[in-house]
Structure 1
Amino acid sequence: MQRWKLTLEYDGTNFAGWQSQSDGKGVQDTVERAIMAIEGELRRTHAAGRTDRGVHATGQVIHVDLAKNWAPFRLQEALNAWLRDLGPVSVREVEAVPDSFHARFSAQARGYLFRMVDRRPPLTLELGRVWRVSQDQDVDRMQEAANYLLGTHDFTTFRDADCQAKSPIKTLSRFELRRVEGVFGPEIQARVQARSFLHRQVRSMMGTLSEVGRGKWSPEDVRDALEARDRKRCGPVAPSDGLYLTDVFYDL
């Protein structure tokens, strides 16, 4: 058996998240169906992160052990040939790795992108792929508030009630917001990086920062909410539409 590291891209809009589901609507189910088609047997996959329902990815990393003697290019082509008919998933990169590699436990950090637009007109081309807020957002004040979240903290305030992590303490090494000119017009992009995240932590933080952006909260209110370690102090949770898993970093 050879262990393979696969880098995936997918549109999470109609998936029930990464994890396998009883109704087969997880991204994992789709990928494993393609692997079964080329291997002839079920091969279990392991992902760097279990993205939630509706969350997208451009750099999700998984590993899988395969029995056949594949060349990397042939494996990538074979999987993508099947995935074209199974769902909006693409294998971007394929790499043979040692058995000691684990997509989740070997990861040193994970990076997410959150996209939002502040405009009144409804979305059409980007519907389901970016969060639309109807009020103008002050990105400088949002960044000022985000700076309070950098570093090591108890993120209980931004932790979902269903989170299964053993500890609420996480370390954010990057939280950058900026207004950019996207393909379909101006948008706000937030880049967040940490070794790992709590369940819905990024969405909880972004929903709260949007309150700052529209002037309902001050940056200091975010600091106080963080220090309160109280989920009730969190602002609204942003939808999954704008969230993308973009990077997983390893020492290989």
Structure 2
Amino acid sequence: MPSMVQTNAPQSVAIIRTRAEALIEECRRYPEPAPGHPTAYCVPPHKAVTTTRRQQLTEERRLLERRLAPCTNRKHVEGVVSALLACFDIGQGPSDEAIDWLDGQYAMAVEGLPFWAIRSKAERFRSGETILPWNRRFRPTTAEFRAEIRAGVNDDVAVTIWLDRMLGAGVAHVPTEEEQAKVTAAAASWLNRGGEAEAGRPHSSPEALAAAREDAVHEMGAQFREVAVRSLVQLAARIKTKAPAQRERTA
């Protein structure tokens, strides 16, 4: 696996994301939701992740996690926001106090998002090439600014979800539609007693089943009585043995 260097440049982000997407494209049909477990996923044996592939996917997942890490330097964010809002100030513009307040509001709106995404989407607003529709006559609102940044990282989040599913998927045989239909038909035949009996295993009538259950209950009751009587006999013998000694101590 070639070496990879983590940077904050959007170009590197696109390159690494493309590589991760290429890995997922090889198994685009997998993993599938596990039957009966809506939050679990599985792959058939021939699509199981090998040790080498697991290491590769884990490395891609680690890089995505680093890339999506939120920016922790508020000053950097406020610098980007201040440069963006300056493009929309005409004439005298707002006061210094108002500028500081606006910078703080926009910085608060994008908390939890990576810095490279904030910087690149601010550039999109300046160039007018945004992903989401926006009225260019006015500066973007805090909600529009955050929504644009979120739209820019959706691809990374989607790839991260696929990697998590692939790394956590179990290996299981997923029955085909034909196999499911055969099982359904066999189950319906057995429940309805409408099909021929399996060779060597004739169907039992409801009366025979009821009689077998009754016999089993009687047998279990006899076994219980036998054990209970034996225990009572042993208890009586111990009491009879200890009784003389007890009378001597009391006398």
Q: Which structure dedicates a bigger proportion of its chain to strand?
A: 1
Shorter-normalised TM range: under 0.3
**TM-score, normalization: structure 1?**
0.21
User: What TM-score do the two structures reach when normalised by structure 2?
Assistant: 0.21
Q: For the pair shown, which has the larger CA radius of gyration, 1 or 2?
A: 2
Question: Higher helix proportion, which one?
Answer: 2
